[in-house]
Structure 1
């Protein structure tokens, strides 16, 4: 067997205050890559003061590129330095797992999670749009291959100027969670959760369409007086929309950010997940919920519909009445059939399969230096 490919993967996202779905992607992909014999993964991070390692940093070597994050990203974009191969010897491939793209003379692979900032820049901060746009231009110029998590994102990437043969669709994997009845009982008690609730989880930001969900819940709650809505996730940017006033207002609960362990139990406890984002590159919460048998209501004609397929309830996220009807279907008489279909659909997505496909991309570019 030939020597394993030494691949430097950016992991700095794991030190962000809100690592989000990109952080989950980095953690799970690296865990699967580290079990392989044909790839030797090395994490690439900015300089950090000594202290506790953030949740989610996998057990692989992580090398510091000797500059704080803000300075490092600025140097990469403006001056083309420092290159990872200057500090980590023997690299065969460099993999930018987010829009933070290192300059390198080695073959460069970039994961493009989505191009939502091109679809509607108003859903992002001006600084974020400028950073993403610069990274997109550099990726067009410098990347040997681009990995995307869905066919929907592949279409966007090709429309942005990438040749189709540079674009590789590698879906995310399901988490493979387990739990016990005692864990679930304790979780419900700790957070004073109602018996029947719809879960929403994500970072609070405009493209997540939380305002639309709150409007839909107000409609659904009139028809189902025992139904509650539980919101999980950290504040991102923008104001959290207020729920329409009415007798259902006290049935909207906000738990804030949960640990991965508690988020797992929130999915299990929920009667259904509502994830009506206007656009996502993949929509990992859809797959996470389905993997524990929780029915999903999500947005049609998006990557989330691609993941959920016939196992989910697909609606127009801009139509509050349609979204409300979807919620009532998922928590009502179709619940059990949707739950069984969700488990079957989620079983097709694994992180080992994602690592297989990613390693194949590495092999395809390794000889292009």
Structure 2
């Protein structure tokens, strides 16, 4: 492969995800990657978005932003079905589709595939959503010069879906956290009436997050330990939010605290004040909350045979996420006999995941795409 000569590559990144009602983990990836690229030599990033986005949505203020003439629904459909239009703004050296919204290939194309959950559990998505993802997957197979994935678990799914392994690059995300001191954790506890140590969970309440099993596990230990349960995040879709509310009503009053959606600064306080973080998701492309909790030195209980097991290092207790008894036992272990060892291993593991390192690997991927001449 002949790589292009050294020099900054202009890369048009699709940043439209940040104007979605709930940007989610993909939004975190877009925001942190773009910010980190500014500190890496060899790339000149620009952002592209649909018509109607206002402000920078947390992106660097000096990032050039170019808007399509089409609003989001029409732009996504045009890219998906007609493969038109090309990205707005000056013609770049590389186009980077950071989610399944994949523009026309008007320059060497890099696509980030976060996961193929729609193939693993299509029942967790609307039929329309599955059709959109399948069309995007066909585009990636046919047009992408480089496919970036955050984990080996997602890489294996991509190759099983027909993407050649030599086009796939595993580039883990980084993790950013706020140093939270004792004064802030005390204030957080006081605001929310938290007088006992607690298990923490965060995310959008949707089927694959498996919150119901966590509640079943907590019900088994609530009378045996001093642990409370704190959950934070917005309602997702499907029956999961209603199911979770019903199960919450069956637990002892005062032992479960549902905070709803919280701002980033308060999320950091919730992590830092937790005794244990539990993330029993059935499947994730990466599982960022695992690293976020570890960065605060919090032991993690999470799902074996998933990307979370892959990235968690020695700071996790791994269980079958569908087994409430095993999950309950793991919570007791992480709270008790193994807590201090797990906490130290968690912090050390998270320190190895930086956005600067991730951004530098992305620049290598951009150069590979620019030199691929597919």
Same fold (TM over 0.5): yes
Task: Give 1:18-97 correspondences, 5 Å limit.
Answer: 18-48=22-52, 50=54, 53-54=56-57, 56-59=58-61, 60-84=63-87, 87-97=88-98
Contact 2:40 2:360 in 1 (8 A): no
TM-score (norm 1): 0.95
Contact 1:218 1:244 in 2 (8 A): no
Matched, 1:341 2:341: no
Task: Give 1:193-204 correspondences, 5 Å limit.
Answer: 193-204=194-205
Task: Give 1:314-333 correspondences, 5 Å limit.
Answer: 314-333=318-337
Q: What is the aligned partner in structure 2 of residue 352 from structure 1?
A: 356
Following the alignment from structure 1 to structure 2, what is the Cα–Cα distance between the partners of residues 126 and 247? 35
Matched, 1:171 2:172: yes
Contact 1:215 1:244 in 2 (8 A): no
Following the alignment from structure 2 to structure 1, what is the Cα–Cα distance between the partners of residues 276 and 224? 16
Match for 2:10 among 6, 14, 17?
6
Residues 8-33 of structure 1: per-residue CA shift (max 9 Å, x gap): 01111111111111111111111110
- C-alpha distance 164-247 of structure 1, shift in aligned 2 (>3 A): closer
Secondary structure of 1:100's counterpart equals coil
Residues 284-334 of structure 1: per-residue CA shift (max 9 Å, x gap): 000100011011000000000001132200000011000000111111121
Contact 1:243 1:249 in 2 (8 A): no
Q: What is the aligned partner in structure 1 of residue 145 from structure 2?
A: 144
Secondary structure of 1:101's counterpart equals coil
Q: What is the aligned partner in structure 2 of residue 215 from structure 1?
A: 216
Following the alignment from structure 1 to structure 2, what is the Cα–Cα distance between the partners of residues 48 and 152? 36
Contact 1:6 1:39 in 2 (8 A): yes
Secondary structure of 2:325's counterpart equals helix
Once the two structures are overlaid, the 10-residue window that deviates more, 8-17 or 41-50, is: 41-50
Match for 2:368 among 351, 364, 368?
364
Task: Give 1:83-122 correspondences, 5 Å limit.
Answer: 83-84=86-87, 87-122=88-123
Contact 2:100 2:113 in 1 (8 A): yes
RMSD: 1.6
Contact 2:118 2:125 in 1 (8 A): yes
- C-alpha distance 203-247 of structure 1, shift in aligned 2 (>3 A): closer
Following the alignment from structure 1 to structure 2, what is the Cα–Cα distance between the partners of residues 249 and 262? 23
Q: What is the aligned partner in structure 1 of residue 236 from structure 2?
A: 236
Following the alignment from structure 2 to structure 1, what is the Cα–Cα distance between the partners of residues 82 and 178? 43
Contact 2:34 2:59 in 1 (8 A): no
- C-alpha distance 40-247 of structure 1, shift in aligned 2 (>3 A): closer
Secondary structure of 1:46's counterpart equals strand
- C-alpha distance 194-12 of structure 1, shift in aligned 2 (>3 A): farther
TM-score (norm 2): 0.93
Following the alignment from structure 1 to structure 2, what is the Cα–Cα distance between the partners of residues 175 and 222? 35
Following the alignment from structure 1 to structure 2, what is the Cα–Cα distance between the partners of residues 91 and 299? 40
- C-alpha distance 159-49 of structure 1, shift in aligned 2 (>3 A): closer
Contact 1:204 1:238 in 2 (8 A): no
Contact 2:287 2:308 in 1 (8 A): yes
Q: Flag structure 1 segments of 5+ consecutive residues without an equivalent.
A: none
Q: What is the aligned partner in structure 1 of residue 269 from structure 2?
A: 265
